[in-house]
Amino acid sequence: MIWDIILRAAVVGILLSILLSIMSYFVVVRKMTFAGVGIAHSAFGGIALNFFFGFAGYIFPLFFSIAASLLIAFLYKRGNMSEDSAIDVIFVFSMAFGVFILSLSNGYSANMLGILFGNILSVTNFDMITTLAVFSVGFVFMTYLFSHFQLISYNEELAYIAGINIDLLYYLFWVVLSVVIVLSIKLIGIILVNAFLVLPTLVGSNCSKNYKGIVAVGAISSILSVVAGIFAAYFLNTPAGATIVLVFITIWLLSFLAKKL
Amino acid sequence: MIEVKNLTVVFDEKIVLDDISMKIGKGEFVGILGPNGAGKTTLVKSILGLEKPVKGSVKIDGVDVDEYIKANGARIGYLPQYAIVNWNMPIRVVDAVMIEKVKPFGIFRKYSKSEMESVRYWLSVFGVEDKMYDYIKELSGGQQQRVSLARCMMHNPEILILDEPNTAIDAVYNTRLYGILKELSRKNSMTIIMVSHDIGAVTKYVDEIMCLNVKLHCHGKSGSINFSDVLKEVYGKDMEIVIHEDGCKNCAFNKDKQ
């Protein structure tokens, strides 16, 4: 029974970490690392609504995160705001809204630690199937359009001349990122999910100068962190998200020292 | 043929380009001069369809620019301003030169032999073929700019638009660069539009000159314009022009040769 739970959590974690590693490359290269924090915290408003109405599904968190990410993208593209400022406005709104709604709900505090820091016991078969579907679509999306995103990140004007619909791809990237982050919350938690948007590329950059190497090393280090973190969390009886992130930070530190020494 | 008609561009209620009309023929090498904030970059961006005018139109070969870009974007080589390129990308020079050739599943892509030969050729034209496998963030600003010029040439463009190509390039290579551009324009019938602050060189190498300061103050053959008057009008009355010729007898680096 317990091995079923570990297996489910590991499958979900591995699939999401591969996808997040590819997205992490563009998030870091485009200096959008705050985006993960913003989107994950935006989901908090949706999770609070889940509590309020007694639901357990993804509908409210997904709705909140996707709406938040599209609004962030819109404010940046059309509202003459920096991405960081746009994220900050949406992020604080969602958190305030979430806390406000939670205060109206009864008995929420027992589950709060799992939402904030992840809980492998909460990963169900449905989560695994959903993650597999999202991974398949997201992986094809990111690998098919990798060189398009590469050109957009290099210079948007050149991408426009090359006939790329920059706005469409920009919004789609944020939507896919929102879905992946919401799916990651059960395993990693709201507070720590951003680690999977930053650390893969940081570890990759310590081990390789080339984008292919950075993405590959990022994915391998993410998978290692998830697997080792889940086992450690099980044996030490600690929150999964925090344990996984601590393993990841250790890998990053080792890669950093290896690069400097 | 590029035809700009009554082009007016406004940013935040401020007129940046005011009623610009001009024609640029195939194979012409045109230099755009003007002080900071004159609208030079906005003009080239409008020609590329990157800025939308409040009035007027841009047509290339008789077709509206947006439609032309959709159908023939690859026939335009564009060098944006140096500062707006992300030079911190973890890509090699060869990747940067190939970056506009987007392909599905590009992360798994390997370049063909002919693509590699083409990259090597254009890097050699701009004197940086030995940097082919270096990472772009490790190059000097001038080398990065030469890599960008090689990238522009990868489609064998019919139109080449260069926004301050000599940024970060040293004075000696600058002269060589203008020579290469002049040659490309003449031999390949390539239309070249170049924004520059290098007044002396522009007047020497280009076929036609445009002086811009929100309005188009002059547009004519390089030798046919009375520059001291027009440039004083465009840059202000304190403008003083000193034309340096190649092989200048009083220049420090030539004294040793004499």
The three-state (H, E, C) secondary structure of A86-153, written as one string? HHHHHHHHHHHHHHHHHHHCCCCHHHHHHHHHCCHHHCCHHHHHHHHHHHHHHHHHHHHCHHHHHHHH
Residue environment code for B7-21, b if the CB has 16+ CB neighbours within 10 A, otherwise e: bbbeeeeeebbbebe
The verdict on a CB contact (< 8 Å) between A211 and B88 is no
Chain A CB contacts of B154 below 8 Å:
none
Chain A CB contacts of B158 below 8 Å:
none
Mean pLDDT on A232-237: 90
pLDDT of residue A201: 97
pLDDT of residue A229: 94
Q: Report how far residue B208's alpha carbon sits from residue B185's, in angstroms, rounded to the nearest whole number.
A: 12
How do residues A154-175 score in pLDDT, each as one tens digit? 999 999 999 899 999 999 999 9
Q: Is the pLDDT higher at B192 or at B243?
A: B192
How do residues B182-198 score in pLDDT, each as one tens digit? 999 988 899 999 998 88
Q: Does the structure show a pLDDT above 50 at B164?
A: yes
Return all residues near A190 (Cβ < 8 A) that are at least 6 apart.
Answer: A40, A41, A43, A44, A47, A115, A116
| ipTM score for this prediction | 0.87
Tell me the C-alpha to C-alpha distance, in Å, between residue A28 and each of A43, A214, B249. Answer: 21, 11, 52
pLDDT of residue A91: 85
Q: Pairing mode, if any, of strands B159-163 and B191-195?
A: parallel
Q: How large is the angle between the packed helices A109-117 and A34-53, nearest 10 degrees?
A: 150
Residue environment code for B106-124, b if the CB has 16+ CB neighbours within 10 A, otherwise e: bbebeeeeebeebbeebbe
pLDDT of residue B240: 60
* d(CA A161, nearest CA chain B) in Å: 5
| Token reading at A256 | 């950093």
Domain extents for chain B? 2-255
Return all residues near A1 (Cβ < 8 A) that are at least 6 apart.
Answer: none
- Chain A interface mutation, best of B48, B99, B108, B139, highest count of A Cβ atoms under 10 Å: B99
Per-residue pLDDT band for A108 (boundaries 50, 70, 90) equals low
Q: Is the pLDDT higher at B200 or at B216?
A: B216
Shortest CB distance from A150 goes to which of B48, B92, B99? B99
By mean pLDDT, which of A114-118, A141-145, A185-189, B161-165 is the weakest?
A114-118
- Chain A interface mutation, best of B42, B75, B98, B107, highest count of A Cβ atoms under 10 Å: B107
Shortest CB distance from B84 goes to which of A30, A155, A208? A155
Q: How large is the angle between the packed helices A83-104 and A34-53, nearest 10 degrees?
A: 20
Phi, psi at residue B115, to the nearest 5°?
-65, -40
Q: Is the pLDDT higher at A35 or at B23?
A: B23
- Chain B interface mutation, best of A158, A201, A211, highest count of B Cβ atoms under 10 Å: A158
pLDDT of residue A58: 86
Tell me the C-alpha to C-alpha distance, in Å, between residue A24 and each of A141, A233, A252, B47, B90. Answer: 14, 24, 14, 35, 13
Mean pLDDT on B140-166: 94
Shortest CB distance from B104 goes to which of A144, A160, A208? A144
* d(CA A79, nearest CA chain B) in Å: 13
Task: Count CA atoms closer than 13 A to B101's CA, side-chain side.
Answer: 19
* d(CA B254, nearest CA chain A) in Å: 40
pLDDT of residue B246: 52
Helix or strand holding residue A213 (H, E): helix A211-236
The verdict on a CB contact (< 8 Å) between A147 and B106 is yes
Mean pLDDT on A224-239: 91
Sheet holding B55-60, edge to edge: B14-24, B2-11, B55-60, B63-64
- Class for the domain spanning B2-255: alpha beta
pLDDT of residue B13: 87
The domains located in chain A, with CATH, are 2-194 (1.10.3470.10)
Q: Is the pLDDT higher at B256 or at B168?
A: B168
Window 192-251 of A, Cβ < 8 Å to B: 205, 208-212, 214-215
What are the residues of chain B with a beta carbon less than 8 Å away from any beta carbon of chain A?
45, 48-50, 69-70, 73-74, 76, 78, 80, 84-86, 88-92, 95-96, 99-109, 135
Q: Is the pLDDT higher at A121 or at B22?
A: B22
Fill in the amino acid letter for B9.
V
Mean pLDDT on B96-120: 94
Per-residue pLDDT band for B132 (boundaries 50, 70, 90) equals very high
A29 and chain B: CB distance < 8 Å anywhere? yes
The verdict on a CB contact (< 8 Å) between A163 and B69 is yes
pLDDT of residue B6: 95
Q: Does the structure show a pLDDT above 50 at B168?
A: yes
Q: Does the structure show a pLDDT above 90 at B200?
A: no
| Token reading at A30 | 């485009």
Mean pLDDT on A94-110: 79
Q: Report how far residue B140's alpha carbon sits from residue A245's, in angstroms, rounded to the nearest whole number.
A: 37
Q: Report how far residue A185's alpha carbon sits from residue A114's, in angstroms, rounded to the nearest whole number.
A: 9
The verdict on a CB contact (< 8 Å) between A146 and B91 is no
Q: Is the pLDDT higher at A150 or at A86?
A: A150
Chain B CB contacts of A145 below 8 Å:
104
Shortest CB distance from B102 goes to which of A29, A160, A162? A162
Mean pLDDT on A238-257: 93
Per-residue pLDDT band for B242 (boundaries 50, 70, 90) equals low
Q: Report how far residue B139's alpha carbon sits from residue B50's, in angstroms, rounded to the nearest whole number.
A: 28
What secondary structure does DSSP assign to B123-178, as a single string? HHHTT-GGGTTSBGGGS-HHHHHHHHHHHHHTT--SEEEEESTTTT--HHHHHHHH
Chain A CB contacts of B91 below 8 Å:
150, 154, 210-211
Radius of gyration of chain B (CA): 19
C-beta of residue A17 within 8 angstroms of C-beta of residue A196: yes
| Token reading at A120 | 């492998």
Sheet holding B215-221, edge to edge: B76-79, B159-163, B191-195, B29-33, B208-213, B215-221
C-beta of residue B42 within 8 angstroms of C-beta of residue B16: yes
Per-residue pLDDT band for B64 (boundaries 50, 70, 90) equals very high
Per-residue pLDDT band for B252 (boundaries 50, 70, 90) equals very low
By mean pLDDT, which of A51-55, A185-189, B228-232 is the weakest?
B228-232
Compute the mean pLDDT over every residue in chain B, rounded to the nearest whole number: 87
pLDDT of residue B247: 45
Name residue, tokens 């600058």.
B174
Q: Give Dmax over CA atoms of chain B in angstroms.
A: 59
Per-residue pLDDT band for A77 (boundaries 50, 70, 90) equals confident
Task: Count CA atoms closer than 13 A to A166's CA, side-chain side.
Answer: 17
Q: Report how far residue B153's alpha carbon sits from residue B169's, in angstroms, rounded to the nearest whole number.
A: 18
Q: Does the structure show a pLDDT above 90 at B69?
A: no
Compute the mean pLDDT over every residue in chain A, rounded to the nearest whole number: 89
Helix or strand or coil: residue B53? coil
